[in-house]
Chains A and B, each alone.
Chain A
Amino acid sequence: MSTAHSREAELLTLGVLMAGVAALALSDFVSPIYWSLPVIAAVLRVWRGSRFALSEMHASFIGWFGFLWVGLELILGRAWVVAFTDFLLILALAVTIESATPRNHLHRMLTGLFLMLAGAVLTDSVLYAIPLVALMWFIWRAASCLYGLEQVGGNLPIPSVRQDMQSSSIMIIITLSLFLLLPRFDIQSKLQPTQPRMATTGFSDEVKLGDFARDLDSTVVMRIESLDADRRHFKQQIMNHYWRGVVLSQYQHHAWKQRSSQKTRTWLAEQDVTMHKIQPRSIQIALFREASDHPYIMLPNGLTHMNPLHRDSFQDDLGQFHFTQSPNRRLRLVMQLAPQNHTSDIQIASDIPPQGDEKSQRVPQAIQDWIKDRIAPNTPAKQALQQLNQTLHGWTYDLHAKLDPKAPLASFIQMQRGHCELYASTLALAARSLGIPARIVNGYFGGEWNDTGHFLIIRQQHAHSWVEVWLNDHWQRMDPTPASRWQLTNIQFPVWDQVWETVKLTWYRYILEFQNQDREALFKSLIHGLKILLPWLILCLIGGFVVYHLYQKVSKYRKTIHLNRHQYVIDAWLLQHGIKRESFEPLSRIETPQHINPKNWSAWVQRWEKDVYQQKPLPRIRYLKKQLKTLES
């Protein structure tokens, strides 16, 4: 085995392994410490060559150590998925360091492939496509290199990169075709097609005042796209929706808590969820929910219907919608919303009268004082609440207002600046003080419109708190937060972010969530598109065919004309020297023209005919005339 060849084989099999490591590293379950170990070892291996290598036996010690280590991790209570990925990466480290032998090449390729498959189960990142394509490339090249080693007559060279690029592009097309065409079976409906994640977003059931502002970053919580064919007005229809999440009713020690709730209705998996009678022209949306650590489904105002969910779920008397168990996967929920002008007809999904906590009139003194200052005695409660709401609207929104932790609401009222949870808490407690049952709701409002992909993104920074008050025998929403709240944004590269979010949604929509019905829809739209484009396609084909043939004819004609012009010049010159040549008679057959040196003439004829017959570019007419002039001299 030549050194260059074995070195190439080693690098390529190392490439296979590293592609696998990269795929698994995308998983939330993998700690950077573990994936960086084989990567560092690979870098050292490339740099130091065989000097940074262990014998097969020594490398196997690392593998055994990994096995014991993982056992210890499991005993110490680490999740088995995490322990499993740790073991795989320690194994990858051992295989990286192992000295390059034929068996080691095979170890690397198999381990790389296994890591890639583990990554397929444990990650759903769009970046997974990169190691997948890299793995395909490296497997092809490595197998090709290993095949060529030690053959009869020496090592066979690996085909050129250009040649393999062509093969790779065909392989990518085959892969995508198989992905599109192969059926999806509903063998194990409980297994979600999306992958588990550890990353979490969302709310908790207990919120201390002041904590709210901590997590308002740009982490994406939901992406919402239209499923309707007509998407022209989708932006106007979907923006400015309240996405109702956790309902908090108990206020104690400057913190809101959820009161114990009761199930009012249970929906089994695969059962349609109908919230209200469907409106005549409803909007159908797909909500891509990122993995969350809470079981709540964010319900937009105007929700009329939800397609069957994959898990059992229920609605409680607070109008919250729960999964029985928090899903740790991305979810795609299909919902129907009433049109924007009908949303006010759709009531909040709870008509259960207020319970004890919501009616409680134990309100902090600071709020009672504030109400006394603001509201004239004997003002009707409803009117007083409206006045307070108006007042709060005039205050300043400030995410970083420095509150007194001992009396956050008092300092908020004093400073007249703070974040939405303080506004909502103040209004809810003020309503209770006025005798109106109230509670606060944590959820999301508005969102960010993505112009590139035409969908709505709801980020953590769109989290919002508002108030629900019991008026006219049903719960009504009141939002005291000033509008300036929604002018805050902290996206650094908005254009790039929009493109990247579109890529992500495309990945979720067309790769992770691709189903049989999507294929049908795709084929239908393809056929529809073809029907529209077919006449144009035929026209283009015919046009292309005609243009190509015309081009061929013209270039041939130009060539002939070009040659004929030369012949014309030569014939004219020959006539001047007393020779009349038949058309297409070779120059070599005619006599030497008068007053021309025969030697020069035959040399020139030989050169000229060689150029003509070898189809070399002929000299310009000017040069030809010059050459003929030279012959005369």
Chain B
Amino acid sequence: MAYNPSDLRLPPWLLWLLNALIRLRIPIATNWKIGMTRAGGLMFFSLLGLWSAAFYSGNNLLYLCGGMLFSIALMACVQGIQILRHVAKLGAVLPTVLEQGIPHILRQQQDIASSASAMIDVVWHGTDIRMQINMQAQRMTIMAQLFSAQRACTSLSQQHLTTSAPLGLWQLECQREDPALWLVLAAPVIWSDTQALGALAASQRIEGDEYDDLRAYVAGDSLARIHWRKSTLNPDSWRIKRFTQAQASHHSRHLRVDLRLPSYASSKDFDRLLGMAWYWLKKQGQYSSEHFILGQQHFDLAIPKQYQAAVKALAQAESESIPPLQGEGMVLSL
């Protein structure tokens, strides 16, 4: 804000008093509070002095001046309330998953029904999840830099919206319900399941030339699977070998994560283990036919709800003392 009573070089005691005043929040309705900015503090005292003079003197022009200033203050307050009421629910804007230690920059634009110029601060109660909303004309831009150093799985509900728009006089605070799930997973650790499973790696080696058919190359295909002989005939379209055995083995793959924390391992190692599991889960994506076993929990990733549950379980995973559920597939452990 470009105007601030501290610019007036007020004496320190007066500034201290003003600061104490602007920390005050007065409830005006259920879930609504009002405070004042420094400029609002000046306005408040101007109004106080002006109305005192008007009441004392009975000067009707002072009544008009007081009415005019009061109407500005009131209108600013009403418009501020309207602005906050027009902010759409923001739970859906939050990323579905945040990764531990990796900042997430959020910048989204939404259309709004009314036209306003305002800056709104959004904080979810009891968290450090903060957003800023820049309202201009009939569009609002939601901006946030989301970061978490810890894994978390939190159900967010209470949200605080604060603005001093449209004049920077009153600090209006609104508390509302905006449910959202805040999932922070361990940072993904890149690994290859082929490295982890020697047996599978070996089976890859015996694939040989017994491929089922050929398909066109797509970005990301392994160079080892390119049928070089057929591809050299037509360099514009490389051909990729497809193996029935490999597909079959792929479909039958599962991942079991052993959540036991040995004495030599630290919580960082545990997060790393979960990061590897998250990497695998992410790689499989939804609707894959894999099964994911996390300690004592089993998830069929082909079912979208179970995939979501798996992600949630990863976010809130704690170390266990017993081995994971029995089953097929790779085992990740410390």
Contact = CB atoms under 8 A, between A and B. Distances in A.
A191 interface: yes
B2 A174 contact: no
A144 interface: yes
Contacts of B61: 119-121, 123-124, 128, 195, 511-512
A157 B50 CA distance: 31
B167 A170 contact: no
Nearest to B135: A156
B4 interface: yes
Interface stretch (A98-106, A236-244, A526-534): A98-106
Contacts of A154: 134
Contact of A178 (B2, B71, B116, B143): B71
Contact of A121 (B2, B59, B76, B134): B59
Contact of B117 (A116, A157, A182, A191): A157
Contact of A102 (B3, B74, B75): B3
Given A117-B65, A120-B65, A193-B57, A146 B2 contact: yes
A130 to B, nearest CB: 12
Contact of B67 (A146, A179, A513): A179
Contacts of B53: 117
Contacts of B164: 147
B60 interface: yes
B60 A193 contact: yes
B67 A106 contact: no
Contacts of B200: none
Given A140-B167, A159-B116, A1 B58 contact: no
Contact of A186 (B4, B58, B74): B58
A135 interface: yes
A309 interface: no
Nearest to A183: B55
Contacts of B71: 136, 170-172, 174-175, 178
B60 A179 contact: yes
B8 interface: yes
Contacts of B58: 184-188, 191, 193
Contact of B3 (A105, A135, A140, A188): A105
A146 B63 contact: no
B134 A151 contact: yes
A9 interface: yes
B231 interface: no
Contact of A139 (B5, B72, B166): B72
Contacts of B134: 151-154, 156
B168 interface: yes
Given A144-B166, A193-B59, A132 B115 contact: no
Contacts of A123: 61
Contacts of B168: 143, 146-147
A227 B42 CA distance: 43
Contacts of A147: 1-2, 117, 164-168
Interface residues of B, number: 53
Contacts of B70: 174-175, 178
B119 A156 contact: yes
B286 interface: no
A123 B141 CA distance: 49
A171 B72 contact: yes
A160 interface: yes
Contacts of B56: 185, 187-188, 191
A153 B68 CA distance: 32
B149 interface: no
A144 B3 contact: no
A128 B62 CA distance: 12
A458 to B, nearest CB: 24
A174 B117 contact: no
A550 interface: no
A3 interface: no
A163 interface: yes
A148 interface: yes
Among A139, A171, A186, the one with the most B-chain Cβ atoms within 10 Å of its Cβ is A171
A156 B118 contact: yes
B169 interface: yes
Interface string A503-523: 000000001111000000000
Contacts of A128: 61
A121 B1 contact: no
Contacts of B60: 179, 193, 511-514
A308 to B, nearest CB: 16
Nearest to A170: B75
Contacts of B4: 102, 106
B144 to A, nearest CB: 11
Nearest to A513: B60
Contact of B74 (A144, A174, A187, A511): A174
Contacts of B42: 110
A172 B66 CA distance: 12
Contacts of A150: 1-2
A56 B72 CA distance: 29
A512 B70 CA distance: 19
B7 A159 contact: no
Contacts of A514: 60
Contacts of A511: 60-61, 64
A471 B104 CA distance: 107
Given A170-B75, A185-B58, A105 B64 contact: no
Nearest to B64: A179
A175 B167 contact: no
A147 B137 CA distance: 15
Contacts of A188: 56-58
Contact of A163 (B2, B7, B50, B115): B115
Nearest to A193: B58
Among A9, A117, A149, the one with the most B-chain Cβ atoms within 10 Å of its Cβ is A117
Contacts of B76: 143
A221 interface: no
B237 interface: no
A460 B39 CA distance: 50
B167 A174 contact: no
Given A177-B67, A195-B59, 16 more contacts: A101-B7, A103-B7, A106-B4, A120-B64, A132-B64, A140-B75, A144-B167, A146-B168, A147-B117, A149-B1, A149-B2, A159-B166, A171-B72, A174-B71, A179-B67, A184-B58
6 contacts: A106-B4, A132-B65, A163-B115, A167-B75, A178-B63, A195-B59
Leading 6 A-B pairs by shortest Cβ distance: A147-B168, A120-B61, A149-B2, A175-B67, A174-B71, A178-B67
